[in-house]
Each structure stands twice: as structure tokens, then as C-alpha cells.
Amino acid sequence: MSALLFEPITIKHVTLPNRIVMSPMCMYSCADEDGRATGWHVTHYQSRAMGQTGLIMLEASAVTEQGRISANDLGIWDDSHIEGLKMISDAIHSAGSKSAIQIAHAGRKAMIDGPIIAPSPLAFDESMKQPEEMTLQQINETVAAFKEGARRAKEAGFDVIEIHAAHGYLINEFLSPLTNRRSDSYGGSQQKRYRFLQDIIGAVRTVWDGPLFVRISAHDYHPDGSTIEDYAVLAQWMKEDGVDLIDCSSGAVVPAKIPVFPGYQVSFAEKIKTEAQILTGAVGLITSGLQAEEILRNGRADLVFIGRELLRNPYWPRQAAIELRTELDPPKQYERGW
């Protein structure tokens, strides 16, 4: 039996050559604090495509200047970013993989000069800045910034867009009752806390008809926070609103201890897949081909996101193929020497 990990999968009109995704990882490597991609980014991402990861997802890319985690983040807030991003996407394609980009706003976790914004004026901890509470106008402007980011991602040639709604960044801050204390139509009940993300999904969908993923933090690890039960409901709403896949991460909304072990977030992907009947991605300490195959074969997730292991080994898919006794075709340029 051939390995499911290396079977193609089609989402909307995009066929991924296998089920391995490079998990989005900030590289803090823009040289001039202008959000522009460099040759380093091209090599970094293309290396993993050469290693035959099927979908290469670029790191959190800021939809506004104020929404950067650091001054060296990749940006997608200006049309001048399109050219550099297109170079990366083209390089990924030329190595036979599909390209994705995570569009993001850091909210109260932005570590940049100047004021920062969040649903409520609560700092993450003593070391972080106090954010300003967003006005309705700022909410509308930020929704529009996500839409513009998606438009630029399309122009840059990406195959997949992922909205970053995890890890305590802006969208997650709206979703969690721990960080959203608003009393207007964007806070209070779960439905109202979802409204900001719902508006963003709707706005992105006006310019993007390709595969749309959302990364969530499926558990706040806090007695008063959101849990996987809440996210099973949210995933159903997201599906109705046009999301294709939920990428299931967890935590980082408030300082909290996360129990980490191999596959520690896989059960979240499994529950959402089963309860919301939507495609899911599993991520977090997935390091071997056998582990990845188990997740897919047991129907616990549809894609496997690999983070740090792909930093350590850009050829991880080849290693996984050996473990799974699967013959991988080499990149076509290598065929004669194979």
C-alpha cells in the first residue's frame, strides 16, 4: 500500500502534490524594516520546495505596518511588496510545489514603535505595551487591510491563503473571552466575538476564490478561555462562511503553560474534522513519516504541517518517504542522474 502522505489532494481548483505543508514560521529577516522580501527568503522557501514539501507556506505577513510582530517581518500591506513575494512564489512553483501565504496582524503582540491596537486595552504581560482599544473605524480599516492583503497575495501568484487567527494575535484576541471585553457588536457572546473574523473571511472572499485556510488556537489553556468545544462550533461557522481548511494550533493568547508532547495538537484537528466535517491540518511536534501517516490514515487530519523539523532538514519529505517505503520521483532536472 502506498503512503497516503504522498498522495495528491485537491482543494478547490488547486492540487497539492502531497500532504506535507511547511508550517508558517517568521524568519524576522527583512533587511530594511520595510516588509520587503529578500533573496534570502527566496532561497529559504525554495529549498523546502526542492526537498519536495508539497505546500510551502510563507510566514505571518503583516497586512498593516502596525500589525507586524517585529520590524523585520514580511509585509503585504503595500503594492510594493508584490514583486518580492512573487519571486518567492515563482521559485516555489519552479521546484514543483504549491505556494501559500499566511496573512496576519499582531494586535497587542506587535513589538514595533508607535501605538498598537487590540479589541480591548489589555497588555499581554508586564513586558509588553498596552494596546489601544480599536474603534469601529479601525475595525473596518483592518478588515479592509486583510482584503487588500489577499488581493496582493493573488497578484503575487499564491495558490493558497491562510488567515492567521491563532497564537494570541489580533483575530485571536477578538475570539477569546480573555482578551475581548468589548460590549459592542464585536464582543460578548461567542457569535459576536467571531464577527471580526467573519467580516475578514467575507472581505477576503470578495477577492479570492482559491483555497482559504484559517489557523486557530484551539485551546487557550486557561479556565476562563476558549476550548476545543468552542472551536468545534466556530469551525462550523467558518465552513458556512467559505473556509476550506482549519489549521489547528493552540495557545499563546495569554501567558499559560502548554503541555507539549509528540502530536500534542492532533486531537484538536481530529475533533474539528469529525464535528464540523471540514478539512483540517495537524501541526505540532510531528517529526516522523510514520507519525504523519498515522494521522492521515486514521482520518485525524487531511494535511500535516511540519515546522521546526523542516528547518533542521529541508529534505524531510525524502526521509519520510524512506521510512514509509515509498519511491519519490526526483525533481525532473535530476532524472538523468537518478
Which parts of this chain interact with ligand FNR (CB under 6 A)? Answer: 23-26, 59-60, 102, 164, 166-167, 215, 249, 283-286, 306-309
Is 325 annotated for ligand binding?
no
Minimum distance between the CB of residue 217 and ligand FNR, rounded to whole angstroms? 9
Of 59 and 230, CB closest to ligand FNR: 59
Name the closest residue to ligand FNR (Cβ).
Answer: 307
Q: Is 164 annotated as a binding residue?
A: yes
Give the list of residues 6+ apart from residue 98 with CB closer than 8 angstroms, or none: 14, 15, 16, 17, 54, 55, 56, 92, 159, 160
Q: Tell me how far, at minimum, the Cβ of 73 lies from ligand FNR, in Å.
A: 8
Least separation in angstroms between residue 28's CB and ligand FNR is 8
105 is in an annotated binding site: no
Nearer to ligand FNR, 131 or 307 (CB): 307
The answer to whether 215 is annotated as binding is yes
Q: What is the β-pairing status of strands 9-11 and 245-249?
A: unpaired
Give the nearer residue to ligand FNR in terms of CB position, either 23 or 180. Answer: 23
Q: Which is nearer to ligand FNR, 12 or 308 (CB)?
A: 308
CB of 94 to ligand FNR, least distance (A): 24
CB of 286 to ligand FNR, least distance (A): 6
Binding residues: 23-26, 28, 60, 102, 164-167, 215, 307-308
Binding residues for substrate: 28, 164-167
